[in-house]
Structure 1
Amino acid sequence: MEGTTGFSPSTAIVTGSDSGIGRATAVALAKAGLDVGITWHSDQQGAEETAEEVRSLGRRGIVRQLDTTDLHGAAAVIDSLAEDLGGLDVFVNNAGTGDATKFLDLDIATWTNTLDTNLNGAFVCLQAAARRMVKAGNGGRIVAVTSVHEFQPRVGAAAYDASKHGLGGLIKTMALELAEFGITANSVAPGEIATPMTGQEDQDPTTTDRPGVPLGRPGDAREVATVIAFLASPASSYVTGASWAVDGGMLQMGPQAGSHITGHDWREG
C-alpha cells in the first residue's frame, strides 16, 4: 500500500532494539525493505541477535551502543548510525525504563534516571533524527513508543507516568512543527506486552489469562511492531500527531474496571 506523498523509506533506526518491542520492530521494518540501525544499552548480545535476524532478511543491520541518559552524547550515536546507513527515513524511539517506585519513596536519583532515559534522552535523539530528515528534504516518519500510561496513571509509577505523558506531548508538538517538512510524528502506546520488561520474555501471551483486558491476554511484541511499521510506511501519509493504543482494549475499561475491583490490592501497584 502506498501513500500519496512520494515518500519511499529505505533506512531506519530503532532504539532499544536488543529485545522485546524494539527487536520486533527492527525485524518488521527489515521485512518492509529497510536497512536498520539497532541500539542497545546493556545487552550487546541481544542487539547482535537482532542484527542477525535483520540480515537474514537481506537487509543491513548496524549496531551501536546508546545510553539515553548521556544527554550530551546520545545525538552523536544517532548521527553516526545515520551516516553508516546512508540516510535516515524512519526513526523509532523505543528505548525506555521503569522504576516501580511509589511517589513518597521516590528519590531524586531514581526520578532523574527515569526522566533522562524516557524523556530527556528521547528529546535529544528525536531532535537529532528530525534535523537530519529536515536537512535531507525527503520527508520522514518518527514514531515514539510510549505506553498506556501516557494516558492513565499506575500506582508505583510516578516517574514513568510523568515521562510517558511528557513524551506523548512532545510528539504531538513535533507533529505540528515538522509537518511542513513532510515529516510525520506519532506515538504507539502499548498495554501489557509479553517482553523482558514485564518478565514474560519466554511466555506465550495467548496462554496467559488477563480478565481485566477485554481481549483476555497480554500482547505480543510483534502486534505492537505491526502498528509501528504501518506508521513508518508510505501508507500512513495522513496520520500525524496521533497516539495509537495497542492494549487489547485495556484503556476502555475505565469505571468498568473500577466498579469490579473487590479489594484494596491495587494500592500496592
Structure 2
Amino acid sequence: MAERFRNKTVIVTGGASGIGEAAARLFASEGGRVVISDMSEKGKDLSDSLNSEGYETTFIKTDVTNEEDVKHLVNSTVEKYGSLDVLFANAGIGGMSLVHETDFSAWKKIIDVNLHGVFLCNKYAIAQMLKQETGGAIVNNDSIHGVVGKAGVGAYSAAKGGVKLLTQSATAEYASKGIRINNVNPGYIDTPLLADLPEEMRQELIRLHPIGRLGKPEEVAKAVAFLASDDASFITGASLLVDGGYTSV
C-alpha cells in the first residue's frame, strides 16, 4: 500500500469508533503517526491494538467542547511527534426532534459538539500549522445535512451547515498559507450511532439512498484520506459528498 502519510502527524478526533476509527486505521496503515482523540477509553484500546501491529499511534482523551482540552491535544501532539500535518475533525453527536419539540439544552449540546468542537480543533490546528510554516490539511466531518435538510434534524443540520461555511471561510483565510481545509459529507453510515435504530427506521434510511444500502465507515475514511493527502493538492474549500446518491434525488 502507498504510504501517503509517512513522516506526517495526524490527529483524528472521535477516533475511538465508527468513521473516526476507520480513518485512524487507514492513516496508520499509510505510514502516519496517528493521535487518536476521544472521550472514550476505547480510543486507548484502539491505539494499543494498532501499536501491537507495528503502527505508531497514541491516545489523548479530549472533550472537543473544552478549549483547554483542545489546546492540550494539539500541544501534546506536537511535543510527542514534532509537528501537526493533518487534522480530521470528526467528533460529533446525533440527535433527532422536531424544532418545536427540541429542548434548548439538547440544541445547545448538539451545536456545542458538532460546531463549536470543530471550530476549536480547527483554530488550534491552524495556529500550529501557521507556526510550522509547512502548511497542512484539515478535513472536517460535515454531513449530507450540512447540504440538505430533513424533518427532525434541525439542530444537527444547523450545526453541520455552520461547519460547511466555517470551512469555506477558513479556506479563504489560509489557502495562501498552504493550509487546505475541506469537508467530507457522509450520508447515513452503518456506525454505532445507528446501532439502536428500530429496523423499520433503518430500512427507511436505506431507501433514501439510491445505491440501496447504508455506507461503510471505511468508505468515508478513504475519502477523508484522499482529501488529506497530496493527491488533493488543488482541492480546498470543497464538500465531498459520500452519500450513495442521497442528495441527488
TM-score normalised over the length of structure 2: 0.90
- The match for 2:155 among 155, 159, 164 is 159
CA distance in 1, matches of 2:92, 2:66: 13
- The match for 2:192 among 166, 189, 196 is 196
Does the Cα contact within 8 Å between 2:111 and 2:155 map onto a contact in 1?
yes
CA distance in 1, matches of 2:23, 2:166: 21
- 3-state SS in 2 of match to 1:92: strand
- The match for 1:111 among 104, 107, 112 is 107
CA displacement 1:143-194 (0-9 Å, x = unmatched): 0001100111121111110000001110111111111111100000000100
Does the Cα contact within 8 Å between 2:65 and 2:120 map onto a contact in 1?
no
CA distance in 2, matches of 1:212, 1:227: 21
Does the Cα contact within 8 Å between 1:79 and 1:129 map onto a contact in 2?
no
Does the Cα contact within 8 Å between 1:8 and 1:234 map onto a contact in 2?
no
Note if 1:150 corresponds to 2:146.
yes
Whose Rg is larger? 1
CA distance in 2, matches of 1:150, 1:134: 28
Note if 1:18 corresponds to 2:19.
no
CA distance in 2, matches of 1:111, 1:13: 27
CA distance in 2, matches of 1:9, 1:154: 42
CA distance in 2, matches of 1:208, 1:194: 14
Measured after TM superposition, the shift of residue 107 of structure 1 is: 2.1
CA 1:56–1:252: 2 relative to 1, 3 Å: farther
Measured after TM superposition, the shift of residue 48 of structure 1 is: 2.0
Does the Cα contact within 8 Å between 1:20 and 1:196 map onto a contact in 2?
yes
Q: Give structure 2 stretches of 5+ with no counterpart.
A: 198-202
CA distance in 1, matches of 2:63, 2:230: 30
- The equivalent of 1:262 in structure 2 is none
- 3-state SS in 1 of match to 2:240: strand
- 3-state SS in 2 of match to 1:245: strand
- The equivalent of 1:27 in structure 2 is 25
Measured after TM superposition, the shift of residue 210 of structure 1 is: 2.6
The CA RMSD over aligned residues, in Å, is 2.3
Measured after TM superposition, the shift of residue 31 of structure 1 is: 1.2
Does the Cα contact within 8 Å between 1:36 and 1:61 map onto a contact in 2?
yes
Measured after TM superposition, the shift of residue 22 of structure 1 is: 0.1
- The match for 1:76 among 67, 72, 79 is 72
CA distance in 1, matches of 2:120, 2:148: 25
- The match for 1:64 among 57, 60, 66 is 60
CA distance in 1, matches of 2:205, 2:166: 35
CA distance in 1, matches of 2:193, 2:79: 30
Measured after TM superposition, the shift of residue 212 of structure 1 is: 2.9
- 3-state SS in 2 of match to 1:193: coil
- The equivalent of 1:130 in structure 2 is 126
Question: When the two structures are aligned, how many residues end up with a matched partner?
Answer: 243
Does the Cα contact within 8 Å between 2:6 and 2:32 map onto a contact in 1?
no
- 3-state SS in 2 of match to 1:210: helix
- The equivalent of 1:257 in structure 2 is none
CA distance in 2, matches of 1:77, 1:212: 38
